[in-house]
């Protein structure tokens, strides 16, 4: 088997690639409005409650209609998973890994379709959508290899008269609850890791993006995954989330999303439901308020390019997005001229047009939330650029920067999850580091500096799960930058790292007297 390698992201400078995505966008428009039944085992359901998925650049456009799963259907999916687990758990690791390899092949043949779907359903630019796709394939390829490694011999200290061994076994049936912002990569990564480890899963996609999730479910089905190992269960988190989390047969919950929902899941999962015979395991990756520090001695132009990309790529809707910029006072004015100039060059509009770098935010609630933080920003800081909605169809917001923001202000402390950057002036490097660490979150961070002492200090004291030196704080690659945050950013699961599958396994130690 070839060693794992990241799938390169396409930049769409090839006319053949461009026309293939254009064709996929047209195909999606032609099939828009298609209704998908809910499938549990060999039964299909059409419910009264529907889950339409729409285009945030043109909210009246319904891309597809899914069924809103009911608690009874969630129950059926969990019971099915628990039944299937009795055999799936004993399926050899190489067989389980093969399903992932095959699903990756299936997806690779539908790359343009996936990109088009994420452009229209999630408002991603073409390159962001392709990066999401590449990450999903990387997860499948990486975790398949990891499953084989975990299934291999584990070293123990030898002892005379005994033959000890240790091996990893799966946990049971789990709930996989992803967010909409990496609607293919995170969904596929969390589900594939659990499945390849020998667990069964009930996968409830985010309500904003069930169509791209369906492609992953199709990929696993096309790979021949036995029925019930994965049940794809679109539905409202508010309506069926608690039911799934509380269920006594659920053994683990793997969640990525907001801090509020993650903490709720963690709390509920800790309560023992009648009939439950284990402590539920919760993997929760949550929000961020990620900071980039710019030191006095650094290449300001390189920093400015990285800051604009990290703050406004995918409209600032990445958990890793730069939402706080902390700048040494001596370079503050010069840096801000550069950052504002780069930001003003950003093109905003429907990402069906591939020249637009920024598309819409995901929905009406996000539009309103972001605009309300912009109003807060007007009181708490100095507007340097942006500050308004663009147009009135679609959820477009100009990339917005507030300067002179105080570290204790709301703009500097609360996750907005939109294209708003708060800029804070620091007295010196130590002050910058203290401001950066003064947050309930601890996901990503970056430092631009030529000062070796400051870089070394950041390495040891900047308390984030993913720290980047002299580069932007977004763009983690599977296997290269295992991803997960500290403090209220989550349980630090390090997705795409060598510890990850361990979260879906338990170790069994067996010793034979000889």
Active site (catalytic) residues:
285, 319
Contact predicate 500/143, CB 8 Å: yes
Q: Kindly identify the residues of this chain, within the stretch 456-485, that bind ligand NAP according to CB under 6 A.
A: 483, 485
Instruction: Count other Cβ atoms within 10 Å, centred on residue 502.
Output: 17
| Closer by beta carbon to ligand NAP, 170 or else 257 | 257
Contact predicate 360/56, CB 8 Å: yes
Candidate list 237, 387, 403, 479; residue touching ligand NAP; CB under 6 A:
237
Least Å from the CB of residue 51 to ligand NAP: 8
Contact predicate 78/173, CB 8 Å: yes
Candidate list 182, 332, 373, 448; residue touching ligand NAP; CB under 6 A:
182
Nearest to 407 by CA among 508, 322, 326: 326
Candidate list 150, 180, 232, 357; residue touching ligand NAP; CB under 6 A:
180
Residue 489 binds ligand NAP, judged by CB under 6 A: yes
Least Å from the CB of residue 366 to ligand NAP: 8
- Assign 48 to helix, strand or coil: coil
Residue 415 binds ligand NAP, judged by CB under 6 A: yes
Residue 417 binds ligand NAP, judged by CB under 6 A: yes
* Distance (Å, whole) CA 489 – CA 467: 14
* Distance (Å, whole) CA 439 – CA 434: 10
| Closer by beta carbon to ligand NAP, 85 or else 182 | 182
Candidate list 104, 185, 206, 215; residue touching ligand NAP; CB under 6 A:
206
The backbone torsions φ and ψ at residue 57, rounded to the nearest 5 degrees and listed phi first, read -80, -15
| Closer by beta carbon to ligand NAP, 25 or else 501 | 501
In whole angstroms, how far apart are CA 200 and each of 86, 128, 163, 174, 247?
Answer: 10, 30, 32, 6, 15
Name the helix (H) or strand (E) containing 400: strand 400-403
Q: Any idea which residue has 């003003």 for tokens?
A: 344
| Closer by beta carbon to ligand NAP, 340 or else 495 | 495
Q: Kindly identify the residues of this chain, within the stretch 439-458, that bind ligand NAP according to CB under 6 A.
A: 443
Cβ contacts of 178 within 8 Å, gap of 6 or more: 186, 187, 190, 203, 205, 206, 213, 255, 256, 257
| Closer by beta carbon to ligand NAP, 139 or else 168 | 139
Residue 139 binds ligand NAP, judged by CB under 6 A: no
Candidate list 158, 238, 274, 275; residue touching ligand NAP; CB under 6 A:
238
Candidate list 198, 241, 359, 418; residue touching ligand NAP; CB under 6 A:
241
| Closer by beta carbon to ligand NAP, 288 or else 313 | 288
Contact predicate 32/63, CB 8 Å: yes
- In this structure, the strands spanning 389-390 and 34-35 are unpaired
Stretch that binds ligand NAP, among 65-73, 223-231, 238-246, 327-335 (CB under 6 A): 238-246
Least Å from the CB of residue 293 to ligand NAP: 20
**Where are any strands of DSSP class E within 171-248?**
173-177, 200-203, 230-232
CA–centroid distance for 16 within its chain: 29
Tokens of 216: 């992953």
Nearest to 10 by CA among 182, 124, 132: 132
Candidate list 264, 354, 410, 457; residue touching ligand NAP; CB under 6 A:
264
Candidate list 286, 293, 304, 374; residue touching ligand NAP; CB under 6 A:
286
The backbone torsions φ and ψ at residue 375, rounded to the nearest 5 degrees and listed phi first, read -65, -40
Residue 123 binds ligand NAP, judged by CB under 6 A: no
Q: In the stretch 184-203, what mask flags binding to ligand NAP with x, by CB under 6 A?
A: --x-----------------
| Closer by beta carbon to ligand NAP, 454 or else 494 | 494
* Distance (Å, whole) CA 192 – CA 254: 11
Candidate list 100, 177, 211, 367; residue touching ligand NAP; CB under 6 A:
177
Least Å from the CB of residue 347 to ligand NAP: 24
Residue 245 binds ligand NAP, judged by CB under 6 A: yes
Residue 418 binds ligand NAP, judged by CB under 6 A: no
Residue 104 binds ligand NAP, judged by CB under 6 A: no
| Closer by beta carbon to ligand NAP, 19 or else 236 | 236
Least Å from the CB of residue 287 to ligand NAP: 3
Q: Kindly identify the residues of this chain, within the stretch 316-355, that bind ligand NAP according to CB under 6 A.
A: 319
Least Å from the CB of residue 317 to ligand NAP: 7
Contact predicate 252/504, CB 8 Å: yes
Candidate list 117, 256, 266, 466; residue touching ligand NAP; CB under 6 A:
256
Residue 266 binds ligand NAP, judged by CB under 6 A: no
- In this structure, the strands spanning 58-67 and 50-55 are antiparallel
Query: Contacts for 240-243 with beta carbons within 8 Å, 24 or more apart?
Result: 240/69, 240/70, 240/71, 240/74, 240/204, 241/177, 241/204, 241/265, 242/268, 243/71, 243/74, 243/75
Least Å from the CB of residue 480 to ligand NAP: 16
| Interface with ligand NAP (CB under 6 A) | 177-182, 186, 204, 206-207, 236-238, 241-242, 245, 256-258, 261, 264-265, 285-288, 319, 415, 417, 443, 483, 485, 489-490
């Amino acid at each position: 088997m070839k060693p794992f390698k990241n799938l390169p992201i396409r930049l769409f400078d090839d006319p053949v690639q461009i026309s293939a995505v254009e064709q996929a966008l047209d195909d999606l428009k032609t099939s828009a409005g298609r209704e998908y039944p809910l499938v549990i085992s060999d039964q299909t359901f059409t419910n009264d409650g529907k889950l339409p998925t729409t285009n945030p650049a043109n909210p009246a456009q319904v891309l597809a209609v899914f069924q809103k799963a009911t608690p009874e259907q969630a129950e059926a999916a969990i019971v099915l998973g628990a039944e299937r687990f009795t055999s799936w758990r004993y399926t050899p690791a190489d067989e389980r890994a093969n399903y992932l390899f095959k699903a990756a092949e299936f997806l690779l043949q539908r790359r343009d379709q996936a990109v088009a779907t994420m452009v229209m359903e999630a408002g991603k630019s073409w390159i962001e959508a392709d990066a999401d796709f590449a990450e999903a394939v990387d997860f499948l390829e990486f975790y398949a290899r990891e499953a084989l490694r975990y299934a291999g011999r584990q070293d123990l200290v030898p002892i005379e008269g005994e033959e000890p061994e240790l091996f990893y076994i799966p946990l049971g049936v789990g709930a996989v609850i992803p967010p909409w912002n990496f609607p293919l990569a995170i969904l596929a990564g969390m589900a594939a890791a659990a499945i390849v480890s020998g667990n069964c899963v009930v996968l409830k996609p985010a309500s904003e993006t069930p169509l791209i999730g369906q492609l992953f479910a199709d990929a696993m089905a096309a790979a021949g995954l036995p029925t019930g190992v994965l049940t794809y269960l679109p539905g409202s988190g508010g309506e069926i989330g608690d039911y799934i989390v509380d269920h006594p047969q659920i053994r683990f919950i793997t969640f990525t999303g907001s801090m509020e929902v993650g903490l709720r899941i963690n709390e509920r999962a800790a309560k023992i439901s009648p009939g439950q015979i284990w402590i539920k395991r919760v993997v929760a990756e949550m929000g961020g308020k990620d900071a980039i520090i710019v030191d006095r001695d650094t290449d300001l132009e390189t920093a400015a390019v990285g800051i604009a990309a990290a703050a406004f790529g995918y409209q600032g809707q990445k958990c890793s997005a730069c939402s706080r910029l902390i700048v040494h006072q001596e370079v503050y004015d010069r840096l801000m001229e550069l950052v504002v100039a780069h930001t003003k060059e950003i093109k905003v509009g429907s990402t069906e047009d591939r020249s637009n770098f920024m598309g819409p935010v995901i929905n009406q609630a996000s539009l309103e939330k972001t605009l309300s933080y912009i109003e807060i920003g007007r009181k708490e800081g100095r507007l340097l650029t942006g500050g308004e909605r663009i147009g009135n169809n679609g959820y477009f917001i100009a990339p917005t920067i507030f300067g002179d923001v105080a570290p204790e202000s709301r703009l500097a402390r609360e996750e907005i999850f939109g294209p708003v950057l708060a800029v804070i002036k620091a007295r010196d490097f130590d002050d910058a580091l203290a401001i950066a660490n003064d947050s309930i979150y601890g996901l990503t961070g970056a430092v631009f500096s030529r000062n070796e002492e400051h870089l070394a200090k950041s390495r040891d004291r900047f308390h984030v799960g993913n720290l980047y030196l002299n580069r932007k704080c977004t763009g983690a690659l599977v296997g290269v930058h295992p991803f997960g945050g500290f403090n209220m950013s989550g349980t630090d699961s390090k997705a795409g790292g060598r510890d990850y599958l361990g979260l879906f396994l338990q170790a069994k130690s067996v010793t034979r007297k000889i």
